[in-house]
Amino acid sequence: MNRLRTFVSILLISLATSSLMAREHKEVIPKAPLFCGAAVFGDLSGPVMLAVGSKFSQLEVGARLNFRDHYFPLCELGIGESTREGQEQNNRFHTRAPYFRVGMDYNFNRKHNGNRLMGGIRYGFTSFKYDFQNPDFQDPIWGGSQKGLDLRGQQGRAQWLEFTVGCETKIWSFIRLGWNLRFKARLHQKKSEFGEPYYIPGFGKNGSSTFGGTVNLIFDVGRTSKKNKVIDVSKTLIKNNQ
Amino acid sequence: MKANCNSLGKRLMLLSLFAVLSLPLFLSSCDGIDCTINNVVTLHVGFYSSEGTELAYADTLTITAAGTDSVLLNRGVRKSAVELPMSFDAKADTLSFSFDGYVITLRVAKTNKPHFESPDCPIVVYHELEGLDFDDPLGQVDSIVIVRKSVNNEPLENIRFYFAD
């Protein structure tokens, strides 16, 4: 519940910022073309997490379309990995599997100036196998030693929803940089009879909800990258006003 | 207007830079060890009168794990229910209930299933009760029944003692 409150706070602050931005610029905004191009993007945080030896990481790419410079239907796919050894128990968990997300972003910035304040929703799903091992352990009350577990290839499956908020800006020509924060709510999971996975690829550390985020390097392709038509419309209007 | 757009772009760039730098901190702060607080699996036993009303047994009660030197409950008084750890590996546990002046021996047959929660948490072993029998030389007990077969970390009653009037 605390996680949800934090996320809702971030969302409200973002929307308030968007509203202030809109008040600053009161000129009439022209409508962008119906189809403004497409983009492909990759998450930069995954390789960083992999490089610093994080407990879990993901390599993720995606593609999206741009309608009216406001609506961005998209899909994301990646590979999530976790190899985790317990600090006190010498237990070991491992999984590596692909995951998929589909959804849509909405750009709250009414001006077509290349900066975007985004809110969105995603549906994610994955099917994966996970391993769990632990050494022999003692029975402190009844005595004797219990043979350790060596459970490999336990089948897992999960579906979840993500609510995102973030922003992006144009760095150069057809290249953009953006980031977003994500509140993830697990909808359903299938787990082994011996226990649920520690990590779900694409979702993160297993639980009813969690936070996440990505830092995306975005490449506009097609119409937007060639002609920058959306931005040209805005510039034309500025000239007319002057 | 151009200046406004550019300054907005710079602000967004700064925000992006901040996000990139703070993301690893943010993600690492979300990690922690959160094992279940009550990760001990126990057999829940309740004491009842022959009519089925809960009974706080007035005598002192000591419970031991037969075949070991472990005392599971030492001279408990006015107990209406007890929680007892079960063996991890054995197919049956024998428990000795020593009331003042008499002893009831309970044998519980079970299957054992290890269960994991996280690499940081100890393994727990769940059980499925398969049957029981008991020795009651003085006839103090009407019956002992299984009311719930699954023994896990949920605090639900598994076995009931019905004492004779």
The per-residue pLDDT for range A8-44, each reduced to its tens digit, is 665 566 555 555 555 555 566 778 888 889 999 999 9
Gap from B38 CA to chain A (nearest CA, Å): 16
Q: Residue A67 pLDDT more than 50?
A: yes
- Interface predicted TM-score (ipTM) of this complex, two decimals: 0.72
| A82, two tokens | 């976790």
What is the identity of the amino acid at A228?
Answer: N
The residue segments making up the domain with residue A16 are 2-241
* Out of A24, A137, A142, closest to residue B90 by CB: A142
pLDDT of residue A146: 78
User: What sign does the CA torsion over B36, B40, B41, B47 have?
Assistant: negative
Per-residue pLDDT tens over the stretch A197-236: 999 999 999 999 999 989 999 999 875 544 444 444 445 4
Q: Does B9 touch chain A (CB under 8 A)?
A: yes
* Higher pLDDT, residue B132 or A13: B132
Q: Which helix (H) or strand (E) holds A230?
A: helix A229-241
Q: Residue B75 pLDDT more than 70?
A: yes
Distances (CA, A) of B65 to A38, A100, A141: 70, 52, 8
Gap from B34 CA to chain A (nearest CA, Å): 11
* Out of A143, A170, A238, closest to residue B68 by CB: A143
pLDDT of residue A3: 59
Percent of chain B with pLDDT over 90: 39
Query: In chain B, what residues touch A48 (CB-CB under 8 Å)?
Result: 23-24
Per-residue pLDDT tens over the stretch B107-121: 999 999 888 878 888
Q: Residue B34 pLDDT more than 70?
A: no
What total number of domains does chain A contain? Answer: 1
Gap from B164 CA to chain A (nearest CA, Å): 31
SS3 for A134-191, per residue? CCCEECCCCCCEECCCEEEEEEEEEEEEEEEEEEEEEEECCEEEEEEEEEEEEEEEEC
Contacts 24+ apart (CB under 8 A), A104-110: A104/A71, A104/A72, A104/A73, A104/A74, A105/A64, A105/A71, A105/A72, A105/A74, A105/A164, A106/A70, A106/A71, A106/A72, A107/A69, A107/A70, A107/A71, A107/A72, A108/A14, A108/A15, A108/A18, A109/A18, A109/A21, A110/A22, A110/A25, A110/A29
User: Mean per-residue pLDDT for B109-134?
Assistant: 89
Residue of B nearest to A149 (CA): B114
Per-residue pLDDT tens over the stretch B35-51: 766 567 899 999 999 88
Which CATH number covers residue A120? Answer: 2.40.160.20
* Out of B1, B19, B119, closest to residue A238 by CB: B1
pLDDT of residue B2: 45
User: Mean per-residue pLDDT for A152-158?
Assistant: 94
Gap from B125 CA to chain A (nearest CA, Å): 10
Q: Locate the domains of chain B by residue range.
A: 1-31, 42-163
User: Mean per-residue pLDDT for A106-115?
Assistant: 87
* Out of B16, B28, B116, closest to residue A179 by CB: B16
| B87, two tokens | 């063996």
